[in-house]
A and B are shown apart, each in its own frame.
Chain A
């Protein structure tokens, strides 16, 4: 399997991997390890800002390099961005597929990422998950 430069970079750095805690953090996950792909997003809303503004995003992912890279890219681009199209991803699935050169056989994994993302950001009301890792 070969990966494009963007996929390699985000897979190798995965700078936004991790979890968030504290008030205003919401968590969503989708998939399962047993099925080979599992993704979790933690999002923190910016206090006092517009409801669509995220302060920080972190992810965890059990999956192939494409899954890790796309999740990392989403975490990077969603944070501090105003997302007019909530609860959608910062980029559409076809855009992500093309940007990361995701093989067609793996498109189902992008859907898992999307499910995890939607679960994390909707409903937008913050839920405190501090100490509940």
Chain B
């Protein structure tokens, strides 16, 4: 990446092919495009660079909705999707589209038959997250793609921001139409991602921004060479190493869960057998969520199940969709493990949570109403 920012490197505009500086940058961009495509089982020409998965999701949803609006105005997605999918869906509803939000139930795993029942004659798009960012549940993309294929003309978009480096993903083999990717979820730079748009399947989109015609005219704007080079390298590394990493990370995750279980009053969110190794989402009974996070925050970096939209935290809508009551949805912690996690990290996390729980449960008088 650094080599793309200095005069002796690929600092030219990759869209300016009238000089050698541009040629060098263009070659770097295309090499990165090939790396990203290979990591996801796609063709290089499927890759459209974006600023991240949020933009990719927006381009997929608005792009498909508008291009195929003469065929229908119905979209199907899940209640547990990322906001980068749910908010565009809400906006499309305001513009006259209908959206069905499927409830995946307590496990968080979508029943493909449920999807089949939701598809209608005018359904043009199904949008599903491969790996849920809060609970780590993996959706059965093959089964979902089969339901969509049986329907005929519905396009299938997958938010794969959490997939690369965590689960098997074969864009072409699964018959996906669109796939959103993010670099930073695979240790790449922030501010870059991609939308994979299947050329083989003849997927068409209406562009959302104009001016320059870059990226097949689907995403005008100068391609940030250093960012996409970083994304290519990160995804290539992730794709090469994830199968070897997963057993080690799964062992750490299991150790962490066993330790937390011993503390009592803990509930695991999502379906353990259908989850990635990297995420462990746990609700803690008899403790208030904001205080729990504040108590462990000086010692470990975890995320809460709450969203802090204002000064008062709101319980996670994903956990609420799974059927957790408001208090348990609020008092949950999401532990993320990764390439650099160690047994010592697990020990530190367990100690921090154990001390916080004991203290807060004592202050809260656990046996009081």
Contacts and interface: CB of A to CB of B under 8 A. Distances in A.
B365 A64 contact: no
Contact of A68 (B310, B363, B367): B363
A contact face: mostly helix, strand, loop, or mixed: mixed
Contact of A11 (B294, B311, B313, B362): B294
A1 B368 contact: no
Nearest to A32: B369
A33 interface: yes
B368 A3 contact: no
Nearest to A71: B363
A14 interface: yes
Contact of A64 (B291, B362, B367): B291
Contacts of A14: 359, 363
B290 interface: yes
A34 B327 contact: yes
B contact face: mostly helix, strand, loop, or mixed: loop
Interface string A25-44: 00001001110111010000
Given A33-B369, A62-B364, A103 B327 contact: no
Nearest to B366: A62
B312 interface: yes
B288 A40 contact: no
B81 interface: no
Interface residues of A, number: 26
Contacts of B286: 62
Q: Bin chain B's interface residue count.
A: 20 to 34
B329 to A, nearest CB: 11
B146 interface: no
A106 B362 CA distance: 23
Contacts of A33: 327, 364, 368-369
A11 B363 CA distance: 10
A104 B311 contact: yes
Contacts of B313: 1, 64
Given A62-B365, A64-B288, A65-B294, 6 more contacts: A11-B294, A34-B327, A38-B369, A60-B368, A103-B310, A105-B311
Interface of A: 1, 3, 11, 14, 17, 19, 29, 32-34, 36-38, 40, 60-65, 68, 103-106, 133
Interface of B: 286-288, 290-291, 294-295, 308, 310-313, 326-327, 330, 359, 362-365, 367-369
